[in-house]
Amino acid sequence: MPKIYNFGAGPAKMPEEVYEIMRNELTNFDGSGISLLETSHRTKAYMQFNTEVQNVVRRLLDVPANYKILFMAGGGTGEFAAVPLNLMSRTGTADYVVTGDWSAKAAKEAKKYGKVNLVLPPTDRYVGIPDQSEWNLDPNASYVHICTNETIHGVEFDFIPDTKGVPLVADMSSNIMSKKVDVSKFGVIYAGAQKNIGTAGVCLVIVREDLLNQALPICPSLFDWTANAKADSILNTPPMFAIYVMGRVLQWVERNGGVEGMAQLAAKKASLIYGAVEESNGFYSVPVAKNARSKMNVPFRIGSPANEDLEKEFLKGAEALGLIQLKGHRNVGGIRASIYNAVSIEEVETLVKYMKDFQNLYV
């Protein structure tokens, strides 16, 4: 079997070293002689690990003491509901900055629980982030929701918006732990684990303490941040294995330069691909404005106008070389290279070499 280069958008490539650790620990968690898969969530060993995962998140992102770190079931989509269920009671209305399909989905879910104000004019062409001077923010909003990296469109915030005291809530599912973040600028940060921090089944939530104790009465206990904070994220049987994987991935991040180390790598990897696009004399193109180009998900087209047959050829040739999961999301088409923390520079260089070779065949 040839070496596989996995550029999938999620569930995404995991660090090799973490697999090695997990292989060794699979049937013997913490020296107990049994697997974590058959360990009670009330054991000392699990509870200690649960605390260590919270601590490593705190260390990596410098999370201030007045924030709780929670492990919630239900993935990113679960939090699309949990955010309004926990915060909409403040004023009954919330601001949503829609910059791609994921923030659009979050806004749609929130409408079930209150009034949603769309901060930007509606569009289905997401190619950038309008300047904040063009935003229609409601000073009475319960919170302002953004998605810091739109996985499908490759649109990433390169700034933290000023919401004039209204709590800022951010979906960081596809760029958490890829760069330093000033957590104190956010009311809530959440991130499904299956891209940069592990596997599906758990969503990391970082919430400022003054935003607790406001859940709507209909909020299910499982989605209630306050109930989960009180139970230290062991309200019921948690997705223990996913939390364990998150812990091992985050410890790997820590051993590899922390978020600053990841940020340097991300900048290098992204510039290799965007550079190849720039140098291609229009053979490849990226629809996204330069200041909003994602360092995690790089979408590009081939030909102008886009030539879908050529794109199919590109994907076929890539697969033959072991470069897989490069097909753009079905909503946008084209190609998308996802280059999360676990994807190495060498792997990106291999992709870039293939892009150049492919171009040479056709021009």
Positions in the binding site for ligand PMP (CB under 6 A): 10, 75-77, 102, 147, 151, 171, 173-174, 192
Query: Toward ligand PMP, which CB reaches closer, 100 or 334?
Result: 100
Q: Report the C-alpha gap between 37 and 353 in whole angstroms.
A: 42
Q: Please give the structure tokens belonging to residue 272.
A: 């290799």
Q: Report the C-alpha gap between 356 and 346 in whole angstroms.
A: 15
Give the other-Cβ count within 10 Å of 298's Cβ.
Answer: 25
Query: Toward ligand PMP, which CB reaches closer, 102 or 283?
Result: 102
Q: Please give the structure tokens belonging to residue 288.
A: 């996204």
Query: Toward ligand PMP, which CB reaches closer, 77 or 89?
Result: 77
CA 217 from chain centre, in angstroms, equals: 29
Q: What is the nearest approach in angstroms of ligand PMP to the Cβ of residue 73?
A: 10
| CA dihedral sign of residues 357, 300, 197, 178 | positive
The catalytic residue among 95, 101, 171, 224 is: 171
Q: What is the nearest approach in angstroms of ligand PMP to the Cβ of residue 296?
A: 10
Residue nearest to ligand PMP (CB): 75
The catalytic residue among 13, 68, 101, 102 is: 102
Residue indicated by tokens 């596989």 = 4
Q: What is the nearest approach in angstroms of ligand PMP to the Cβ of residue 74?
A: 7
Query: Toward ligand PMP, which CB reaches closer, 86 or 174?
Result: 174
Q: What is the nearest approach in angstroms of ligand PMP to the Cβ of residue 280?
A: 27
Angle subtended at Cα 196 by Cα 192 and Cα 197, rounded to the nearest 5 degrees? 65
Query: Toward ligand PMP, which CB reaches closer, 50 or 338?
Result: 338
The catalytic residue among 13, 68, 179, 195 is: 195
Q: What's 185's DSSP letter? A: G
DSSP for 60-121 reads HHT--TTEEEEEESSHHHHHHHHHHHHHGGGTSEEEE---SHHHHHHHHHHTTTSEEEESS-
Query: Toward ligand PMP, which CB reaches closer, 77 or 359?
Result: 77
Q: What is the nearest approach in angstroms of ligand PMP to the Cβ of residue 71?
A: 13
Cβ-count burial of 137 within 10 angstroms (0-12 exposed, 13-18 middle, 19+ buried)?
Answer: middle
Q: What is the nearest approach in angstroms of ligand PMP to the Cβ of residue 191?
A: 8
Phi/psi at 298 (5° precision):
-110, 105
Angle subtended at Cα 213 by Cα 250 and Cα 139, rounded to the nearest 5 degrees? 90
Active-site residue flag, 195:
yes
Active-site residue flag, 171:
yes
- Which value, in Å, is the radius of gyration of the alpha carbons in the chain? 21
Residues involved in catalysis? 102, 171, 195
